[in-house]
Amino acid sequence: MVTGDAAYIKKINRSLIIREIVKEGMISRADLSKVTDLTRATISAQVADLLEDGLIIETQLEHYTVGRKPIMLSLNGLAGYALGIDLDYGHISFTISNLLGHPVASSTIEMDTTDYLVIQTILSDQIQTYLSEYNDTRYGIVGIVIAIHGLVGKDETIHYVPRLHWSDVDLKGDLEKVIHVPIHIENNANLSAFAERVFVHHETDNLLCATLYSGIGLGMMMNNEFFRGHDGYAGEAGHMIVVPGGKPCNCGNKGCWEKYSSESSVFEYLSETRKIKPLRYEQIQKWLNEGDEEVCEIVEQFLYYLAIGLNNMINMYNPDVLVLDSELLRMYPNSLEKIREQLQSSISHYRQLSLSTIGRESSILGACGLAIKNFLDVPILNLSRTEESINNESAVNQF
């Protein structure tokens, strides 16, 4: 039983109740009391406050054949919005979601600059536009999370972004001087892992998500928290050496994992050898469909080195679920089975290896999810991706 300051206990109980309501989607007061082990009086008082605050709504079940129709409680997704931002080289993507994590609007701004002050101004202007447009609910935009493709410290200072050539910049602090809504900065791979946990893999507390696009990013959720390391820079698995003395990497080492098993390594080789720039996924898919021996061999090598790195990750972190985010893996027949065949060590333990069903939108959806989590002040979220929300994401991809 939790003891201590009454206000603190009330806050803990509120968080517990909100978490269960979100987790179940719809739940009655009686069932809330059972799953939280809180008294009915406590449940009634907390629910009354949440209803008054507009955070939850009541729904009476229409098709309940026995006894009195229960009144069900659910999160009010229309009470506010979350703003997720993916800041990448060449473009910035924005997604507005409701409090259930369902996207309601998205846009992308293309840019041909890496200048920090210019990009900061673009962000500030666009955020303020969204704040003005989405103030039609009780809470408006409740939080903003920005995904960064680089090193982010525990204090949310951006230590290094390779493709933007940024070092030690305080984007959070600079934006908060003019934006009066909570802003958080997080590594994009961490947010991809968070999205996988929040929207798909509700049954695990320990998850790794490897994104394989421009490099290799590793997002790590351990006991439903980000595993950050001492300064916050943990997860740079792409710079683990898998071929001593191998290909030179921009980090200064030779033989880094991402030089052999990121999609960019495959694209760079094929683009150079086949004199096709820019090389697109459709062309690689065409070669694979035609049974091009060289392309198939290159992808097999991609899988071989991917398995080497994954074996190391599994042995180091013993994850429950390991999610891979890669278009090449989705294109290549039986890619997961081929990887599993190379993960047969008797000391390697994991429960599930899967391909991401969210894909490239994972970091920005994770950003929205983290903003919602922070606003609701809950330890973790279990949100669902409805058919409508997935269609919205598809529309974003086409955009």
Q: 341 and 214, same structural domain?
A: yes
Domain co-membership, 261 together with 213:
yes
* For residue 333, pLDDT beyond 60: yes
Instruction: For residue 350, give both structure tokens.
Output: 């994991």
> What whole-number distance in Å separates Cα of residue 229 and Cα of residue 235?
8
User: Six-digit token pair at 48?
Assistant: 């009354």
- In 3D space, the residue among 162, 147, 306, 316 whose CA is nearest the CA of residue 227 turns out to be 316
Q: Is residue 199 part of a domain?
A: no
How far is the C-alpha of 275 from the C-alpha of 218, rounded, in Å? 31
Predicted local distance difference test score (pLDDT) of residue 286: 97
Give the pLDDT of residue 397: 45
Q: Is residue 98 part of a domain?
A: yes
Strands lying side by side in the sheet with 158-161:
151-152, 158-161, 166-169
* 390/399 Cα distance (integer angstroms): 14
Portion of the chain with pLDDT greater than 70, in percent: 93
What's the rounded Cα separation, in Å, for the pair 245 and 282? 33
Asked whether residue 389 carries a pLDDT value surpassing 80, the answer given is: no
To the nearest whole percent, how much of the chain has pLDDT over 90? Answer: 84
Domain end position, chosen among 36, 52, 75: 75
Given the structure tokens 């701004």, which residue do they identify?
Answer: 109
Determine, yes or no, domain membership for 53. Answer: yes
Classify residue 69 by its DSSP letter.
Answer: P
Mean pLDDT value of segment 53-66: 81
Distance between CA atoms of 255 and 246, rounded to whole angstroms?
A: 4
Q: How far apart are CA 241 and CA 261, in angstroms?
A: 12
Residues 168 and 128 in one domain: yes
Give the CA count within 13 Å in the CB-facing half-sphere of 349.
3
Last residue of a domain, one of 33, 59, 75: 75
Asked whether residue 1 is assigned to any structural domain, the reply reads no
Say whether both 39 and 89 belong to one domain: no
Please check whether residue 366 lies inside any domain of the structure. yes
> Looking at beta carbons, which pairs linking 65-70 to residues 24 or more positions away fall under 8 Å?
70/28, 70/30
Three-class SS state of 371: helix
Query: What's the one-letter identity of residue 334?
Result: N
Is pLDDT of 2 > 70? no
Specify the DSSP element, H or E, that contains 324.
strand 321-325
User: What pLDDT score was predicted for residue 96?
Assistant: 98
Sign of dihedral through CA atoms 112, 116, 118, 121? positive
Q: Is 111 inside any structural domain?
A: yes
Instruction: Please tell me whether residues 68 and 84 are part of one structural domain.
Output: no
Residue 282 domain-assigned?
A: yes
Residue 167 scores a pLDDT above 90: yes
Judgement on whether residues 369 and 336 belong to the same structural domain of the protein: no
The CATH number assigned to the domain holding 49 equals: 1.10.10.10
pTM for the full model? Answer: 0.91
Q: What is the secondary structure of 174-227 as a DSSP string?
A: HHHTT--S-EEEEEHHHHHHHHHHHHT-TT-SEEEEEE-SSS-EEEEEETTEE-
Residue 319 near residue 354 (C-beta atoms within 8 A):
no
The Cα–Cα gap between 327 and 62 comes to 44
Structure-token match 């994992």, residue found: 257
3-state secondary structure of 329: helix
d(CA 279, CA 74): 47
Q: What are the tens digits of pLDDT across the range 85-141?
A: 999 999 999 999 999 999 999 999 999 999 999 999 999 999 999 999 999 999 999
pLDDT tens per residue, range 198-250: 999 999 999 999 999 989 999 999 999 999 988 888 888 999 999 999 999 98
The confidence band for 1, taking pLDDT boundaries of 50, 70 and 90, is very low
Residues 319, 206: Cα–Cα separation, whole Å:
5
Q: Domain check: are 216 and 292 in the same one?
A: yes
Question: Rounded to whole angstroms, how far apart are CA atoms 313 and 322?
Answer: 9
- Report the alpha-carbon distance of residue 74 to residue 81 in Å, rounded: 16
Angle at which helix 293-317 crosses helix 281-289, to 10 degrees, equals 110
For 27, the 3-state DSSP assignment is strand
Where does a domain end: 60, 75, 90?
75
pLDDT of residue 398: 38
pLDDT at 290 (0 to 100):
96
If asked whether residues 21 and 53 sit together in one domain, one would say yes
Q: Residue 26 — very low, low, confident or very high, per pLDDT cuts 50/70/90?
A: very high
- Quick one: 20 and 155 in the same domain? no
Q: Are residues 226 and 351 in the same domain?
A: yes
User: Is the Cβ–Cβ distance between 309 and 322 less than 8 Å?
Assistant: no
Q: How many domains does the chain have?
A: 3
Q: What is the mean pLDDT of the chain?
A: 92
Q: Are residues 208 and 348 in the same domain?
A: yes
The CATH code of the domain that includes 180 is 3.30.420.40
Q: Is residue 306 part of a domain?
A: yes
Mean per-residue pLDDT, 326-353: 90
**129/62 same-domain check:** no
Q: Which domain holds residue 36?
A: 6-75
- Separation of alpha carbons 193 and 356, rounded Å: 10
Per the listing, tokens 């150079």 go with 272
